Structures are given as C-alpha cells and as structure tokens.
Amino acid sequence: MSQPMSLATLNEMFDHNYWARDRQLQACARLTEEQFLRPLGNSFPSLRDTLTHLLAVEWIWLERWRGRAPRVLLSPEEFPTLSALSQRWRTVEHEMREHVAGLSEEAIEWPMTCVSTRGQPWTYTLWRMILHLLNHQSYHRGQVTALLRQLGEQPPKVDFLDAHDMGFRLDS
C-alpha cells in the first residue's frame, strides 16, 4: 500500500490552486466581453466555457464528497460574465475549504465510492480523488494560458514553484 498524501500537502495544493485561479481571473478581467465569449477552437469553445468547466468540476467533486451524485455539470450559460463566474467560484472555494478543513488524516485514506455523471460508480481513496481534481485543474489552467495568448493577453505565471518564488507560502 502506498503512503497517502498528507492533509497539509493537500491544503497547500488547494492554496496554490486558488492562487493560480485568481491570477488567471485577473488576466481575464482585462478582456472585453466579446473576447471572453469568443469561440477559439479548444477543448471548450471559449475562455468562459473553459473556466466554467474548471468551476463545474470543482463543484461536482465537492458534491460527490458530500455524498451527492449530480448527473449534470454547471452550464456556461449560467455565467454570462466573468463576474458571475468568479462570484460562484468563490462560493465553491469557501465550501471546498470548509469541507477539507473538516477532514482527518485517517479520512483521506478511506476508500470512497462516487457515481459519475454517466451513473458509473468509482471507488478510490479520498486523497487520490482530491489529487485527481487538483491535477485536472492544473491541466486546464494550461489551456486558459493558451487561450489568453490567442486573445493577445500576457498570461500570468501560475506554476507551483513560480508561486513559491513569488512569495506564496503556506508553510511560512
């Protein structure tokens, strides 16, 4: 059996996740509404749709960890503006941090069964599910970086070690 990730490490990774998100949202705030909604031919049609996917996935995993099984992700049409999307994401962040704060080291080692949007059950240890979510967010942040470049905007650095070089520290 492998050594699980500690809660302290997972919390630092969540801190980085939201730090990077905020930097990208600040860059998006410099865009026009047309740029934010413009189809750019990526995994998701627009920057708004890509950011909504990031938000929706955080929300759905949180719901699963709370014992619920939503069958539908949040829709981009629910977020016509960056402000609407940001506001909802801050709510999800607050709820996520509250949920994670209530976990114990033992709880993250327990297997948990969740149901996918297609009705398929998955059973993994909680720390692996959390790591999966955080890896997913990092992957799509790379897409946000590419989309910002396509729109002529200088994307911010959002890498984990860059964050530490810029003074981001959970452990200080």
The structural domains of the chain, ordered by start, are 7-165 (1.20.120.450)
| C-alpha closest to that of 73 among 82, 84, 63 | 63
Of the pLDDT bands very low, low, confident and very high (cuts 50, 70, 90), residue 42 is confident
Q: How confident is the model at residue 5 (pLDDT cuts 50, 70, 90)?
A: confident
pLDDT at 121: 95
Asked whether 48 and 85 are in contact (CB, 8 A), the reply is yes
Separation CA 113–CA 126 (nearest Å): 9
Tell me the residue type at 65.
Answer: W
Q: What is the pLDDT of residue 63?
A: 98
pLDDT tens for 116-161 read 999 999 999 999 999 999 999 999 999 999 999 999 999 999 999 9
Give Cβ neighbours of residue 11 (< 8 Å, ≥ 6 apart). 100, 170
Nearest to 154, CA basis, from 27, 55, 50: 27
The closest alpha carbon to 20, from 140, 153, 152, 149, belongs to: 140
Mean per-residue pLDDT, 26-39: 97
pLDDT reported for residue 123: 97
Q: What is the mean pLDDT of residues 109-118?
A: 95
- What are 134's two structure tokens? 């955080």
DSSP, collapsed to helix, strand or coil, labels residue 6 as coil
Q: How far apart are CA 20 and CA 166, in angstroms?
A: 12
* pLDDT tens digits, one per residue of 13-25: 999 999 999 999 9
- Is pTM beyond 0.85? Reply is yes
| Per-residue pLDDT tens digits for 56-72 | 999 999 999 999 999 99
